[in-house]
Chains A and B, each alone.
Chain A
């Protein structure tokens, strides 16, 4: 079935069974492999993308359910060679080890900061509770989220 999607500002039509999770369409069809498979059960957050600006687990969303809402993946954050402030903050904080969880962490953070521009540590922990980092980089990730929040507030002034 032909599914029309808007991904990172581009309109695309893919032919897939409508119940195919969005994750596989992004990765296998569109080559957007920055979005990771970690569990396929919505329990690890590695596949997080923004749908209509909100963080969603792309392994749990049928591709057909993402029609007519803009989808943003990690590849869509960088603008004109400039990293998104959240990406830059993760880079500055060195908030990764193997970095397999990083895309999902960044996408979840972008979503969090849209609704909660200055989150407390507790709010960050609560918000990222569904994202697993097996390497144990959590303190630096919290640090990165706070740095990003501060930079984005500064820029908004």
Chain B
């Protein structure tokens, strides 16, 4: 299978009247991979996708597909397949009519269309449902029809705009896996727009984190999770504890007057922000560690069976969240005086000379 569908974006800007939706994006996306554009609503990820599809004209910048400048090409000549947020199935056509729409427009013969439709129905596990009306399908089935329809012309590029947002949580997780397996089977370059970091982590080879029209970080899911490049990324991808401190310049940092060692960075003296994931922190009940530890009192304990969480007030702006599996369970209750240990290898410097961003980890995980 030839690998095609490499996308390059150069200096893309999109302004709507006085609102700048996309504010200077340069990006090179490898062919054959699944890439997700991840960010909160209004961060410009959908506008960026629509510019790649040709549904929106960039105010500035160019879009390249496999080296060809497609910026001025209308959408119907771009060789793309797209799944829309509303799915946008044609209500006047049945399932087969929807899936066969692309081939029909291209002037394929009736037999060719029928065999292609059957092939695609099998691919998305809807064999035998070609004659169903769209109104008779469940949400998950509609999603599959939209996917099959977008793949009917074997496009170079497969775009999905919040494709699973209309489904309930269980079905969404199941379809995330299915879509990922389908993408790997076909080897088609795919871009998924999502605000759900779990979805991005589940499906992607590469995550592009966006905020306020700009790219914050590009990297494989685990890298983005473990080494967030900014406080925004740290708090948007999963939950995190952000600690502000003062770097001495020799690699050590003082947080709330206590000495900390960090994974790397913090070479320059000055203000730093450190991100520590809740599951990397540890609860200590026998005294405060000399280094990388903060004393505090337990304000809330959440025991979910598969994991426990403990909120500890360490005198910072927000309570520190400690999360772990039941194996690590330390029996504490509300009001206990404890300490939290932040292992040095888990302390990631996310900004130097900056302040933590507004908006905590909690609003970032919304379902909007």
- The answer to whether A and B belong to the same complex is no
Q: Which residues of B contact A (CB under 8 A)?
A: none
Q: Which residues of A contact B (CB under 8 A)?
A: none
